[in-house]
Copies of this chain bind each other. A is one copy, B any other.
Amino acid sequence: MGTRIRIMGGMTREAYDRLAAKIRDVSLLSSASALLGWDQETMMPEKGGDWRAEQLALLARKVHEDFTSDEVGELLAACEEDRELVSDPLSVPAVVLRELRRDFDLERKLPADLVAESASHRSRAQQVWARARKESDFELFRPMLVRSLELAREEARCLGIPEGGEEPWDALADRYEPGMRAAELARLFEPLRSELVELVDRHRGRRKDRLTGRRMPVPAQETLCRRVSEAFGFDFDAGRLDRSTHPFTSGSHPLDVRITTRYREEDVMDALGSTTHEVGHGLYEQGLPPEHAGLPFCRASSTGIHESQSRLWENQVGRSLPFWRWCAPLLTELGGKDFADLSPEELFESTNRAEPSLIRVDADETTYHLHIQIRFELELAMFRGDLDPADLPSAWNERYAADLGVEVPDDARGCLQDIHWSLGAFGYFPTYSLGNLYAACFWKALRGELPDVDEDCARGDFGGILEWLRSRIHRHGARYRPAELCEEVCGTPLDPEVFLDYLRDKHEA
């Protein structure tokens, strides 16, 4: 038996199996933690919060300890020396080792004290942010922001500038989007911004929103969201749809994916748009290869690619005219006569407008990137030390006036609207825009290969789209890095022109 193992790869293959077993255990623990997090947002009674915070802190500590143990480091190093194991960089073991090395180095580079201080500051900063936003009092939040920036700079210093990067911020961004660099984003985003501003100027005010304001009782909206989720292919035997204040997706395992939405009687599109968005995330999670569950092959290529899946189902599919041809009768069936006079064309126009607004999460597809770009540039300026956090509100308001033509009435609806900086999530915002750009490219490739997709959607048959995404993207898990995946799927690098063409088509439809 010993000899047999040796023939099949000697000590190292055994090392790989031991490593995989250890990592699987870490994943079991961290997925338990994810379930507790989901429960906290959806089910937990109010008073359970303190104990839950302690449970989560303990699990985080155990996951970190188990993952960064010397044993994992030694096994990982042993495996990396096995030429056979890593000879094909796209093989499962090679991808697993690549991802583990990346995570392991990141986690080991951060001193435990810094991790602890960041976690504790995060918890405090988030509470102060919530109060500051409520009272629209930026000065209350400012010291927290200053400290968040200091800690983020310290983290970036520990991590070091990544390969091909030029500045510390790249180290933070790279955690969310492997390979994402500030300089490249600037090159990508700037031409996009001017095109979008022009597009918005041309189309703003042209379409009327005839949907918002019509009331549908929450139980009917729940049925609507469930029916649409099922039609898109979300497997309710391997997932759930619940309510939470902020919609999100929590994936512990491809066979247990929890998505959430929210309901407002007078705004069906809030629930439906949130649902189709989270269903997109959820379908990606359900489509990851379950046979590799617990290993970092069974995970998304990047945050941006994850976002591409949510945006594709939310926008390319869920706001399309064919979708509304199928969904309009459903609205009438569930919402009654209040919805009976809305044609698919009117629903399409109502949900595809270009109207500058104050709040990112409510922004339409066309103006959305402008919100992101403002955040990206201001964050970078603060991080680099070119913008004093004290000047953030005025800088923010100037940019909103310039790029979106809207006046910011208060900081609650201005620079205090997002949670990200309080969480120390520097480097995150651009992944939203990348998601939109990737989604447009994937959609173009898909349409090229599925000529009947519009007819299918109009009949409520979304299976072809899901099957295509499954085979091209989902089942590959983390095999391809985001840029490689784009090349693999589309045959070209990420091209923002595809996104712009898609928007132009929509507005000229």
Interface of A with B (CB < 8 Å)?
25, 28-29, 31-33, 35-36, 39, 43-48, 50-52, 54-55, 58-59, 62, 235-240, 252-253, 255-256, 293
Quick check: B293 and A45 within 8 Å, CB to CB?
Answer: no
**Residue among A31, A32, A235, A237 having the largest count of chain B Cβ atoms under 10 Å:** A32
28 examples of A-B residue contacts, CB within 8 angstroms: A28-B54, A28-B58, A29-B58, A31-B51, A32-B32, A32-B33, A35-B35, A35-B36, A35-B39, A39-B39, A43-B43, A43-B240, A45-B235, A45-B237, A45-B238, A45-B240, A45-B255, A47-B235, A47-B237, A48-B252, A48-B253, A48-B255, A48-B256, A51-B252, A51-B253, A51-B256, A51-B293, A62-B62
Nearest CB on B from A292, distance (A): 13
Nearest CB on B from A138, distance (A): 32
Q: Which chain B residue has the least Cβ–Cβ distance from A52?
A: B256
Quick check: A237 and B32 within 8 Å, CB to CB?
Answer: no
Q: A35-B39, A44-B256 are in contact. Are A25 and B237 (CB under 8 A)?
A: no
Q: What does DSSP make chain A's interface, helix, strand, loop or mixed?
A: helix
A240: chain B residues at CB < 8 Å are 43, 45
Q: A32-B32, A39-B35, A59-B32 are in contact. Are A255 and B54 (CB under 8 A)?
A: no
Q: Which chain B residue has the least Cβ–Cβ distance from A24?
A: B54
Q: Apart from A46-B238, A47-B238, what 16 extra A-B contacts exist at CB < 8 Å?
A: A25-B58, A29-B55, A32-B32, A35-B36, A43-B43, A44-B256, A45-B236, A46-B237, A47-B235, A47-B255, A48-B255, A48-B256, A50-B255, A51-B255, A51-B293, A52-B256
Nearest CB on B from A42, distance (A): 9
- Docked CA distance A239–B45 (Å): 6
Nearest CB on B from A38, distance (A): 9
- Docked CA distance A48–B255 (Å): 5
- Docked CA distance A166–B107 (Å): 56
A51: chain B residues at CB < 8 Å are 28, 31, 252-253, 255-256, 293
Nearest CB on B from A428, distance (A): 28
Q: Which chain B residue has the least Cβ–Cβ distance from A252?
A: B51
- Docked CA distance A252–B62 (Å): 19
Quick check: A55 and B39 within 8 Å, CB to CB?
Answer: no
A44: chain B residues at CB < 8 Å are 256
Quick check: A31 and B55 within 8 Å, CB to CB?
Answer: yes
Q: Which chain B residue has the least Cβ–Cβ distance from A61?
A: B25
A46: chain B residues at CB < 8 Å are 237-238
Q: Which chain B residue has the least Cβ–Cβ distance from A42?
A: B43
Nearest CB on B from A40, distance (A): 10
A29: chain B residues at CB < 8 Å are 55, 58-59, 62
Nearest CB on B from A26, distance (A): 10
